[in-house]
């Protein structure tokens, strides 16, 4: 899917909110291609199933994860890193679908980051009670490229802070199809997700899926 997501033929009209310098929230941006994204997501999960990874400190993450693209983010007792192979199968991660790549590039351009070509997509699955503590995305080789984060399924509260962990985060309710882009001065801002509430989404059931696009290498 390479069509412009802002095509006037779409029934859904995205809107743009500025969160900080270099950070924007694109409401409903992914809605026009939601079914393409979900079909591709199911193909990826069939090849590289979701799993609960373990942090270097031995804590099992409440969020289940998988990856697609040339590199996948993994965590275990040895640390955080990007790896070309799925450690559970030893095979390369599934290729990044064209619909994913096009969405990430178009969303980044709307945020002011033209030419974004991600090589990694982290896929997080949240079920009731799952959360993501405040953290920075800093395992990438450089920070010139933005982060593009796509929300699918149940709504969640996204926490977006500042350059210091102690900075009080602002709270944004993210709905199905919303996309957040941050880079430049905001690239290393701390962010996280509050514990997910229970519910039922008409396309994805009792879960939230988050696609996070990065330029890892």
10 in a domain, yes or no? Answer: no
Domain count, the chain: 1
65 in a domain, yes or no? Answer: yes
The boundaries of the domain holding residue 204 are 15-214
At 38 the three-state DSSP class reads: helix
Residue pLDDT tens, the chain, 217 long? 334 554 434 455 679 999 999 999 999 999 999 999 999 999 999 999 999 999 999 999 999 999 999 999 999 989 999 999 999 999 999 999 999 999 999 999 999 999 999 999 999 999 999 999 999 999 999 899 999 999 999 999 999 999 999 999 999 999 999 999 999 999 999 999 999 999 999 999 999 999 999 999 9
> What count of other Cβ atoms lies within 10 Å of the Cβ of residue 170?
13
pLDDT at res. 5: 52
At 98 the three-state DSSP class reads: helix
210 in a domain, yes or no? Answer: yes
Which CATH number belongs to the domain containing residue 190 in this structure?
A: 2.60.120.590
125 in a domain, yes or no? Answer: yes
7 in a domain, yes or no? Answer: no
Q: Evaluate whether 20 touches 160 at the Cβ level (below 8 Å).
A: yes
Task: Kindly list the distances between the CA atom of residue 12 and the CA atoms of 5, 50, 61, 201, in Å, as whole numbers in the listed order.
Answer: 9, 30, 34, 18
Predicted model pTM? 0.93
**d(Cα 179, Cα 16) in Å, to the nearest integer?**
10
> What count of other Cβ atoms lies within 10 Å of the Cβ of residue 4?
11
CA atoms within 13 A on the CB side of 199: 17
121 in a domain, yes or no? Answer: yes
């Amino acid at each position: 899917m390479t069509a412009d997501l802002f095509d006037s033929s779409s029934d859904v009209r995205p809107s743009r909110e500025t969160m900080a310098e270099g950070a924007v929230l694109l409401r409903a941006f992914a809605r026009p291609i939601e079914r393409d994204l979900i079909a591709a997501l199911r193909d990826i999960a069939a090849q590289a199933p979701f799993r609960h990874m373990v942090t270097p400190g031995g804590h099992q993450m409440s969020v289940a994860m998988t990856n697609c693209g040339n590199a996948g983010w993994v965590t275990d007792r040895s640390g955080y890193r990007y790896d070309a192979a799925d450690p559970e199968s030893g095979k390369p991660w599934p290729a990044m679908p064209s619909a994913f790549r096009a969405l990430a590039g178009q969303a980044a351009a709307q945020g002011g980051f033209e030419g974004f070509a991600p090589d990694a997509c982290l896929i997080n699955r949240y079920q009731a009670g799952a959360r993501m503590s405040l953290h920075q995305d800093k395992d990438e080789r450089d920070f010139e490229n933005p982060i593009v984060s796509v929300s699918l399924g149940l709504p969640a509260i996204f926490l977006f802070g500042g350059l210091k962990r102690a900075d009080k985060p602002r709270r944004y309710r993210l709905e199905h199809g919303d996309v957040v882009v941050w880079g430049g001065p905001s690239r290393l801002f701390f962010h996280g997700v509050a514990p997910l509430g229970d519910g039922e989404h008409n396309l994805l059931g009792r879960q939230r899926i988050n696609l996070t696009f990065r330029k890892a290498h």
